[in-house]
Structure 1
Amino acid sequence: MPELSSRRRMLVLAICCMSLLIVSLDTTVLNVALPSMARDLDAGTSGLQWTIDAYTLVLASLLMLAGSTADRIGRKRVFMAGLIVFTLGSALCSVAPDLETLVVFRMIQAVGGSMLNPVAMSIITNTFLDPRERARAIGAWGAVVGISMAAGPMIGGVLVEAVSWRAIFWINLPVGLAALLLTLRYVPESRAAKPRRPDPVGQVLVILLFGSLTYAIIEAPAAGLGYVLPFAAVALFALLALLHYEPRRAEPLIDLRFFRSAPFSGATVIAISAFAALGGFLFLSTLYLQNVRGLDALHAGLWMLPMAVPTFVCAPLSGRLVGNRGPRVPLLIAGVAMTAGALMFAAFQAETSDLTLLLGYVLFGIGFGFVNAPITNTAVSGMPVAQAGVASAVASTSRQLGTTLGVAVVGAVLATGLGGASYATAFVGAARPGWWVLVGCGVVVLVVGLLTSGRWARATADRCATRLEAPEVRGVVGARSESRGGR
């Protein structure tokens, strides 16, 4: 793809950010609407979990397929298809008559979403070739998450109070349509020089792994361990099969060689932990503010601003720090702040005081604001440009898997603690183990960020990139079979 002018690159970045905005808004807006949806659709805690996790689960399962498909048939083409399906899915969600139908429509919406974020990141990677410009672009990209956190609760609150929870899906329609038209006009088509072949077996195993694991976690409190153990066994089987099967393919869905890079592996673990913390944090906060404090959706959204605004402010600062000094400083700030924010709730019952509630939200917002840029930049930096779609898809998958697991685990812990009691009387005590889970996520961000951002880690990334760029290295069996064929 020829190098674009500065103005054209900024337009491409803006279009890609629009796609991230509507995908990210769907999480923050939906969280504020959960209590209203529970009343209208007669949904319990597990039902509310599924309205979020059905979306993030499908995203996590299909992101890598979308990234490799875009590298093969064209990133612009896949990106536009994603915008169409996502916008259509949003319209369907707004007219869902019951909880089960809403979950199905959320899955359709997620199919479109899976074609947006990893493909957009691949477009950005191939548009911004200078490493510093790319880091700044990724910082702006990360700031969009902050915008969605800042605007989402307020927009969601206004729409829920003025119309109904159904209106929260309407905001995707004009943004999706505008992004589609602008993409058609300004985004150039690009493909990988040597795209990967499809891997249907690997894709099925990924779906089995993520789906079975999430189902087992969410349904365990109500159905019991005896019922969900078979699903846990399926998840374990799928994981072992992936580890056995993928290295033996010449062009696997998940190139396990990526994980020989300590920064890449670290970014994956950090993404899962950070977004698990975010998903759990928003889930617990929304239910507390509306079901315990009795706030309406709008005022609950306003209470989340102390978390959202620091995320918005810190994200571009994190991008500049990554571009100038590398990922270590932003990751350490993120780990400390996220741990401290969750600890306010786990150890000091921050919910019970306005001041401590405010402080906990601010600390968590600062931490999350600093974490996104180093994750994204580390995932794609050092990787061959031809594999940018696959590498960024792994990073995006880690985020969605983290959100899925965060909501599933924290929701299951909360449901177990509540039992048959009401939110108003038992929420604070029932939620405390969930907050400790989020503290653990923050500690993982801190420790893994420290271990995978030093000189040794960078050396492993250089070696990994060298191996990936070598055309004769195709995987264990692939390399051997090709060498035999050469003889």
Structure 2
Amino acid sequence: MADRRFRLALAVCCTAVFMVGLDSTALNVALPAIQRELHASVAGMQWTLDAYNMLVASLIMLAGSVADRVGRRRVLLAGFALFAAGSALCGLASSTGGLIAFRAVQGLGGAALGPVSLSVISQVAPDRAHRARAIGVWTASFAVGMAAGPLLGGVLVSAAGWRSVFWINVPVGLAVLALAARRLPESRAAVRRRFDAVGQLLVVALLGPLTYAIIDAPHRGFRAPAVLAAAAVAAAALAGLVVYERRRADPLIDPRFFRSAPFGGAVVISLGAFAVLGGYLFLSTLYLQDARGLSALAAGVWTLPMPLATVVCAPLAGRLLARRGPRPPLVLAGAALAAGALLIALFGAGSDALPFLAGSACVGAGVGLVDVPATHLAVAGMPHDRAGVASAVSTTSCRVGLSLGVALAGAVLAASLPGGTAPGVAAFTAAAGPAWWLLTGCGALVLVLGAVVTGSWARGTAHRVRSALPEERVMSASRAG
């Protein structure tokens, strides 16, 4: 009976992350069709992606905390329902503004699907071996969803239009929702952390205005009152978050974590790596369909080397981590990301297909190599009772990186193409060139940090943080008594 319950939970949870992975790459293939039908600007397309990514990044930790309190099954079901409802509404959208708003509804659901599904697997696994294998399958499901996204998205857009990319989520989501509602067991945390409402609001106030300022600055002007106001709100939210969380006994994000060089480095590595991925997906889709004039299906085929390389390299990262530690996979990941963006910057956005395909494969390899060691680096230096929070911060940084990659790449592109996309390959290549160089720099940052934050000095900082946190908790408890 327990084994049957475990298999059911695994199927439900893997479906959740497969849907999220599929959506993250399939939608990029549909962007040009959305632009044509809804007359969307470059900023509108950026917000179509980032409304979802920003909400997920902002609410991942809240979703995990609420699930621990009210029940993981209940929150996972709510996530499926919101994701399916948001997908249905996106498929019915008649304007860019409506589509962006409905993508935010999807993001509310997506914030729960990832972290809560992993918690469910951890709770129902009968032993450590089953749990380890299940987490491997769960991770692979997301990668397979990403790999299938470009091709399936191209097929759907070519056969039934861009709305079908959203509608496909509805029957799958409702079917899994019905199954999980009847058969999935409920679970809650034995020790529940206090809800940090102020910290959560400050995170949203930081990420939302920051993304807005980056996306809209090229269109409104960097000195526009709305852009300056958004930047000021984001800066104030960041300062307030640091001050408030330092004084809170049970903070949403403990600033002391960042005294650990491996933890802080892992966060920046995740930001940089997933910024490359977000920028690559955004720029390559517009290049292939708008500049080269390929169909959605052909564009999906062209981008297949990226997700396929991710699927191939993710297990390799785990083996390298187990045998050699986090440094080799992180350095290789940074080198691959920088090489991929550099290849496309120098050669891949012209008429020759080979450099673009090779660059895409390098980007995919870098993404596959970075996730496992970056998460390990973030968690390894923390006390056991803080590992979940450290992992959540690392996961959040991946989503923030995706949002920033789309925002920055789109902003650089829009600054050179204020009237929309380029009429041909040459013009688009010239406009997108600085964005590819920016992504190359992000990859180089991953490479350098991968070498720096995995040495003996960095391990010493992690040890000091790990030693200090329990001591400070004991002292606080003594004072309270």
For the 8 Å contact 1:126–1:385, the answer to whether it is kept is no
Alignment partners' CA distance in 1, 2:331 and 2:71: 37
Alignment partners' CA distance in 1, 2:25 and 2:402: 12
Match of residue 454 from structure 2: 453
SS at match of 1:36: helix
Match of residue 445 from structure 2: 444
- CA offsets 1:201-221 (integer angstroms, 9 cap, x no match): 111111111111111111111
Q: 1:72 aligns with which of 69, 73, 77?
A: 69
Q: 1:385: Cα distance to partner?
A: 5.4
Q: Which amino acid aligns with 2:283?
A: L
Compared with structure 1, are the counterparts of its residues 140 and 207 closer, same or farther at alpha carbon in structure 2 (3 Å cutoff)? same
Query: In the alignment, does 2:203 pair up with 1:206?
Result: yes
* C-alpha RMSD of matched pairs (Å): 2.6
Where do residues 40-189 of structure 1 align in structure 2 (5 Å cutoff)? 40-124=37-121, 138-184=135-181, 188-189=185-186
Compared with structure 1, are the counterparts of its residues 73 and 263 closer, same or farther at alpha carbon in structure 2 (3 Å cutoff)? farther
Q: 1:457: Cα distance to partner?
A: 3.4
Alignment partners' CA distance in 2, 1:117 and 1:190: 16
Q: How many residues align?
A: 477
Compared with structure 1, are the counterparts of its residues 9 and 325 closer, same or farther at alpha carbon in structure 2 (3 Å cutoff)? farther
Q: 2:28 aligns with which of 31, 38, 44?
A: 31
Alignment partners' CA distance in 1, 2:331 and 2:363: 13
Question: How high is the sequence identity, in percent, across the aligned residues?
Answer: 55
- CA offsets 1:316-366 (integer angstroms, 9 cap, x no match): 222233344432222122111111111102233444311111211111111
TM-score normalized with structure 2 length: 0.91
Q: Which amino acid aligns with 2:447?
A: L
Query: In the alignment, does 2:458 pair up with 1:485?
Result: no
Alignment partners' CA distance in 2, 1:322 and 1:73: 36
Alignment partners' CA distance in 2, 1:124 and 1:392: 16
Query: In the alignment, does 2:237 pair up with 1:238?
Result: yes
SS at match of 2:250: coil
Alignment partners' CA distance in 2, 1:261 and 1:189: 35
Match of residue 432 from structure 1: 433
Q: Which has the higher contact order (CA 8 A, sep 6+)?
A: 1
Q: 1:136: Cα distance to partner?
A: 5.8
For the 8 Å contact 1:122–1:388, the answer to whether it is kept is no
Q: Which amino acid aligns with 1:16?
A: C
SS at match of 1:165: coil
TM-score normalized with structure 1 length: 0.90
Match of residue 276 from structure 2: 277
For the 8 Å contact 2:52–2:103, the answer to whether it is kept is yes
Compared with structure 1, are the counterparts of its residues 129 and 356 closer, same or farther at alpha carbon in structure 2 (3 Å cutoff)? farther
- CA offsets 1:361-399 (integer angstroms, 9 cap, x no match): 111111111112223333444645554543332122111
Q: 1:421: Cα distance to partner?
A: 7.0
SS at match of 2:35: helix
Q: 1:71: Cα distance to partner?
A: 2.6
- CA offsets 1:242-277 (integer angstroms, 9 cap, x no match): 111111011112122333333222221111111111
SS at match of 1:195: coil
For the 8 Å contact 2:273–2:446, the answer to whether it is kept is yes
Structure 1, unmatched stretches of 5+, are none
Where do residues 378-417 of structure 1 align in structure 2 (5 Å cutoff)? 378-381=377-380, 383=382, 386-417=385-416
For the 8 Å contact 2:334–2:443, the answer to whether it is kept is yes
Compared with structure 1, are the counterparts of its residues 431 and 32 closer, same or farther at alpha carbon in structure 2 (3 Å cutoff)? same
Match of residue 368 from structure 1: 367
SS at match of 1:251: coil
Query: In the alignment, does 2:19 pair up with 1:22?
Result: yes
Compared with structure 1, are the counterparts of its residues 267 and 386 closer, same or farther at alpha carbon in structure 2 (3 Å cutoff)? same
Alignment partners' CA distance in 1, 2:181 and 2:461: 40
